[in-house]
Amino acid sequence: MVVVFATSNMHYEVPELGIVGRDFPSISLTGRKCELMCKHCYGKLLDNMLGVSTPDGLVLLGDRLRSEGVSGVLLSGGCDRFGRVPFEGYLNAIKYLKSLGLKVFMHVGIVDDFRASLIRGLGIDAVLVDLVLHEGAIKEVLGLDDVEAYVRTLKTLKRFDIPVVPHIIVGLYRGSPSKEFEAVDILKELTPNAAVFVIFTPYPGTPLESSDPPPPHYIIRLLGYARRKLDDIPLTLGCMRPRGEEFDTVEVAAIKLGFDGISFPSIATLNYLVSNGIRFKVVHECCASIYEHVRH
């Protein structure tokens, strides 16, 4: 069984199969503001999110979304200069979202013990963090100095027993190999609830818009290594990745390799599932929820 994730965060419609992306919107806690301005994003991804700037704004938005039948949200936002999504001013508002019965996932950026203790008190469903090891990617792309920050963040969240779903960004260093295989080895050691693989995608209006994404053959080799190494961890191919016929091969390869889920698959990939009799179900949630739908 393959889990197909289709939310409202991207226009996604497959009339032939009755699939429409809906539910589970992303909300930026910083509106359109980002202090860090990583070179691969440059704050552009915030434009596609619902934005709030105050706790009251988040409460009102939560009420509206719940009245519209939304079942969950992904909280995110721009980072401060230390790579942290500043959620501290929203603690009571986030708890209120949970009291409405919403499922809440949250991108948090870099975490220390104090921030982890705050997160644990929120009772949210999962925390999403990037796992970046490549020094050039950390310093030149993300604009941070602490090359151990991401590993330390993941270890801290695990120590505080917080459900965590790390994201490996394939080719983050300008589309070049970025220590992703080493990141997989760390996940084997730390056993998170699940892992998401996303792929560096040159985004218009960013300093890296002229870079190339990593080649499909490299991505597929990494996905195969991850599936073999992380045989007890649910894996999914996330929403941020290049599109087009060349990268359809990556989607199909992920399914052949035994990945448990995929976000917004192409028509070609859906046709592959149907023509090969591979069962799938459509879920209108962030793909980090894969650990709730499959067990290893």
Is pLDDT above 80 for 296? no
Closest CA to 111 of 98, 123, 102, 120: 120
Q: How far apart are CA 46 and CA 33, in angstroms?
A: 8
Give 113's contacts (C-beta < 8 A, 6+ positions apart).
156, 160
Measured distance CA(271)–CA(265) in Å, rounded: 10
The type of residue at 224 is G
Amino acid at 55: P
pLDDT level of residue 75 (50, 70, 90 thresholds):
very high
Give per-residue pLDDT as tens, 27-40: 999 999 999 999 99
CB 45 within 8 A of CB 52: no
Q: Sign of the CA dihedral 225, 269, 239, 104?
A: negative
pLDDT above 70 as % of the chain: 100
Closest CA to 260 of 293, 217, 228: 293
**Rounded to two decimals, what is the model's pTM?**
0.96
Interacting residues of 230 by C-beta distance below 8 A, sequence separation 6+: 184, 187, 188, 195
Span 205-209, average pLDDT: 96
CA-based R_g, the chain, Å:
18
CB 27 within 8 A of CB 289: no
One-letter amino acid of 191: T
Binned at pLDDT 50, 70 and 90, residue 295 comes out as: confident
* DSSP structural state of residue 138: I
What domains does the chain contain, in order, with CATH numbers?
2-292 (3.20.20.70)
d(CA 187, CA 10): 28
162-200 per-position pLDDT tens digit:
999 999 999 999 999 999 999 999 999 999 999 999 999
Is the pLDDT at 15 greater than 90, yes or no?
Answer: no
Average pLDDT, the chain: 97
- At 168 the three-state DSSP class reads strand
Residue 16's pLDDT is what? 83
With a CB cutoff of 8 Å and minimum separation 6, the contacts of 4 are 19, 261, 262, 263, 265, 270, 280, 281, 282, 283
pLDDT band at 10 (very low <50, low <70, confident <90, very high): confident
Assign 45 a pLDDT band (cuts: 50, 70, 90).
Answer: very high
Q: What is the dihedral of CA 106, 107, 113, 115, to 10 degrees?
A: -70
CA 172 to chain centre: 14
Structure confidence by residue, pLDDT tens digits, 82-116:
999 999 999 999 999 999 999 999 999 999 999 99
User: Residue 18 pLDDT more than 90?
Assistant: no
pLDDT band at 132 (very low <50, low <70, confident <90, very high): very high
H helices present in the chain, as ranges:
55-67, 91-99, 113-122, 135-136, 149-159, 180-190, 216-229, 245-257, 267-275
The confidence band for 69, taking pLDDT boundaries of 50, 70 and 90, is very high
Which pLDDT value is given to residue 261?
98
Residues 229-246 have pLDDT tens digits of 999 999 999 999 999 999
Tokens of 11: 């226009």
Q: Which pair of tokens denotes residue 176?
A: 């070049």
Q: What is the mean pLDDT of residues 9-24?
A: 89
Q: Is the separation of the CB atoms in 262 and 5 below 8 Å?
A: yes
pLDDT at 60 (0 to 100): 98
- Please state the φ and ψ torsions of residue 169, each to the nearest 5 degrees: -95, 105
